[in-house]
Amino acid sequence: MSQIKAVKDTTDIVEVIGARVSLQRSGANWRGLCPFHSEKSPSFFVSEQMQRYRCFGCGKSGDVFTFLQEYEGMTFYEALENLAQKVGIVLEKTGPSDEDKLRVEVLQALDLAKEYYHYLLTQHKVGAAGRAYAKERQISNDSVKLFQLGYSLDQWDGLIKFLHAKKKIPLDTLVAAGLVIKSQNRRYYDRFRSRLMFPLRNHRGQIVGFSGRILPSASVDKSDEKQAKYINSPETICYHKSQLLYGFSELYQQIRQEKQVVVVEGELDVIGSVQAHVNSVVAIKGSALTEHQVKLLARVVDQIILCLDADSAGVEATKKAIRVVNATDISRETPLELRVTRIPAGKDPDELSKEDPKLWRETTKRTVTAYEFLIQVAFEQNDATSSSGKQKIMRQLSPILAEISHAVELEHYVRLLAERLGASNVSVAKDIEAVKQKKLLVQPKTANEVSADQPTTKLDKLENYAWFLLFQSQNEQLAQRAEILTQLALKLPGAHTILKTILQNSQLPLNQINARLPDDLQQTVFNLYSQKIWLAKLEDIDVNKEWRQAIHELRAEQAKIRSKAITSELEKIDQVREKTPAQLATQEDLLRELVQLRK
């Protein structure tokens, strides 16, 4: 038995998915809200017997490895390693791909770099400059420990000497990790020098990169563009800026408990907030939320609170966040709420949290919806008493309000806007509707897809139902019923292989039989096993009675179709005046077959 199969057979998919998605028992199976798209009624189905999942809404389907790859962003080998560790299987024979090997080596190098930088800052005498700067920025020792802050030497090869010369990590691995730069003349040097180091963790707690804040005492060449105030790791095999939320891993339990999170822009904003006892906070590496970040937060919070200025950058960041939240498929019983808190002009969260911690705590609690924030800003920027000002306000707000899909929510903002403009609800709603219709005209239309649960012909439906009933049968009935299907002309691609595998492994349960099929046929079997229209009625039917009836009707429909084909062929032969011996023989065979079919 392969180790992959051993891990898969030992793992309970319901336990793995149930730890991440709320599942409820539904007969012999489990249901929940799909984690891969937005829905209000559960259409996500997990089969305990088949050890596979399927969403009837978005079509996502697979096994426990597929789920971890899709949901957690793991590679196959990472998923295998994760599950093997949980079930106590030591992987010996199954090796990672070259890419997986590089990823492991990069993660190890980054973790060692974190330990090295942290040691220099907290214990070594050369870290005095870093400690002085941390003290100047009022970063407590608890924060240094919690976020594992570090210090990079004011040298070109400090890290290289430790990781390459001492720890024997190849230079190419350090380049791949974003820790070392390879120059055009093939010389290597440290990317981070004389900086306060902020380790960047992914949502699984792994160090994937660093952000470095240059120290005022640094002696590096200030004309070097790489010596900006802050530099971050480049995009690597492990670090992707659009996916990272600084503080999410370290503060996960607090964020989950609060059910809301304040989104700020920098690492020091997060650290300052925590020191001011605002513990549900993360920082984005960029100016706006991304789809990946929204999906990550939506797993644990009900509210995302953007901390913004009322300047043009803050307005654009809010508009982008609204679009991302609206466009991101999120599985939730209640909508994810996007809110905004406004910080005093000229301040940032780090400064405010240190100068007036109480005010910062109060600021994070004084929030408005993202749409209310945009309305406030529009009225602050324009004269609502003049006709031109009103027109500008509507031009600013109509496009974003036109994206609200919920009628009651839209009505609320129409009424609010109309009241502040001194206009009627009807005229405001009319302007917004005009923008909405204009958008609809330019949106590309997508073709409707035919669902696999909606066969196109009666014969397709009967055959699919027969397969469904076969896979719902008791183990001791599988071989006998598979034998019956071998006698029928089936349209399903791979039918012969599926039935042959069942007959050759009749002593095994269905999930183990299925595991012996090629991957594509494993999915085919599960799709037939989990057909929505019949799965919903499974508890109310007698499978044995339905099987007999389905086979009878399937045979009758096949006979009917074949009879029509034979009749058509006979008519063509009849039109021939002088028939050849071969045509006469064919005619006789067809007539004999037709009589047999009609019996």
Give the H or E element holding residue 27: none
Which residue type, as a one-letter code, is found at position 253?
Q
Measured between alpha carbons, how far is 151 from 327 in angstroms, rounded to an integer?
40
pLDDT of 332:
65
pLDDT of 147:
97
pLDDT of 186:
83
Give the mean pLDDT of 325-342: 79
pLDDT of 444:
42
Residue 167 scores a pLDDT above 90: yes
**Sequential DSSP letters for 467-535:** HHHHHTS-HHHHHHHHHHHHTS---STTHHHHHHHHHHTTTS-HHHHHTTS-HHHHHHHHHHHT-HHHH
Question: 573 or 129: which carries more pLDDT confidence?
Answer: 129
In three state form, how does the secondary structure of 345-364 look?
Answer: CCCCHHHHHHHCHHHHHHHH
pLDDT of 96:
64
Mean pLDDT of the chain: 87
Phi, psi angle pair for 81, to nearest 5°? -65, -45
Q: What is the pLDDT of residues 188-237, one digit of tens each?
A: 999 999 999 999 999 889 999 999 999 986 655 544 544 688 999 999 98
Residue 446 scores a pLDDT above 60: no
Q: What is the pLDDT of residues 506-563, one digit of tens each?
A: 888 888 888 888 777 888 888 888 888 888 888 888 989 999 999 999 888 888 888 8
Residue 53 scores a pLDDT above 90: yes
Helices (H), 88-230: 98-122, 128-136, 141-146, 158-160, 171-176
CB 479 within 8 A of CB 506: yes
pLDDT of 309:
65
pLDDT of 13:
93
In three state form, how does the secondary structure of 545-583 look?
Answer: HHHHHHHHHHHHHHHHHHHHHHHHHHHHHHCCCCCCHHH
As a whole-number percent, the residues of the chain with pLDDT over 70 amount to 92
Question: Of 353, 372, 373, 369, which is closest to residue 361 (Cα–Cα)?
Answer: 353
CB 435 within 8 A of CB 416: no
Three-state secondary structure call for residue 94: coil
Question: Packing angle between helix 407-421 and helix 425-442, nearest 10 degrees?
Answer: 130
As a whole-number percent, the residues of the chain with pLDDT over 90 amount to 48
Measured between alpha carbons, how far is 253 from 241 in angstroms, rounded to an integer?
23
Give the mean pLDDT of 316-339: 80
Question: 505 or 200: which carries more pLDDT confidence?
Answer: 200
Residue 7 scores a pLDDT above 60: yes
Measured between alpha carbons, how far is 379 from 373 in angstroms, rounded to an integer?
10
**Sequential DSSP letters for 200-239:** EE-TTS-EEEEEEEEPTT--S-TTSGGG-SEEEPPP-SS-
CB 274 within 8 A of CB 143: yes
Per-residue pLDDT band at 286 (split at 50, 70, 90): confident
pLDDT of 270:
96
Question: Of 56, 91, 63, which is closest to residue 77 (Cα–Cα)?
Answer: 91
pLDDT of 559:
83
Measured between alpha carbons, how far is 511 from 386 in angstroms, rounded to an integer?
71
pLDDT of 204:
85
pLDDT of 540:
83
pLDDT of 292:
86
Give the mean pLDDT of 34-48: 85
CB 18 within 8 A of CB 71: no
| Partner residues linked to 335 by β-bridges | none
Q: What number of other Cβ atoms are within 10 A of residue 538's Cβ?
A: 17
Q: What is the pLDDT of residues 376-386, one digit of tens each?
A: 999 999 999 99
Residue 427 scores a pLDDT above 80: yes
Q: What is the pLDDT of residues 57-68, one digit of tens each?
A: 888 888 999 999
pLDDT of 227:
65
Residue 183 scores a pLDDT above 90: no
Question: Given the DSSP bridges, would you call strands 260-264 and 303-308 parallel, antiparallel or unpaired?
Answer: parallel
CB 152 within 8 A of CB 194: yes
Residue 1 scores a pLDDT above 60: no
pLDDT of 443:
46
CB 516 within 8 A of CB 37: no
Residue 498 scores a pLDDT above 50: yes
Measured between alpha carbons, how far is 197 from 529 in angstroms, rounded to an integer?
53
Measured between alpha carbons, how far is 165 from 284 in angstroms, rounded to an integer?
35
Measured between alpha carbons, how far is 112 from 180 in angstroms, rounded to an integer?
14
Q: What is the pLDDT of residues 449-458, one digit of tens each?
A: 333 445 568 8
**What's the helix, strand, coil split of the chain in %, to 5?**
55, 10, 35
- The answer for residues whose C-beta is within 8 angstroms of residue 581's C-beta and 6 or more apart is none
Write down the pTM of the prediction.
Answer: 0.66
Measured between alpha carbons, how far is 481 from 298 in angstroms, rounded to an integer?
46
pLDDT of 219:
57
- The answer for residues whose C-beta is within 8 angstroms of residue 162's C-beta and 6 or more apart is 112, 116
Which residue type, as a one-letter code, is found at position 71?
Y
Phi, psi angle pair for 224, to nearest 5°? -70, 125
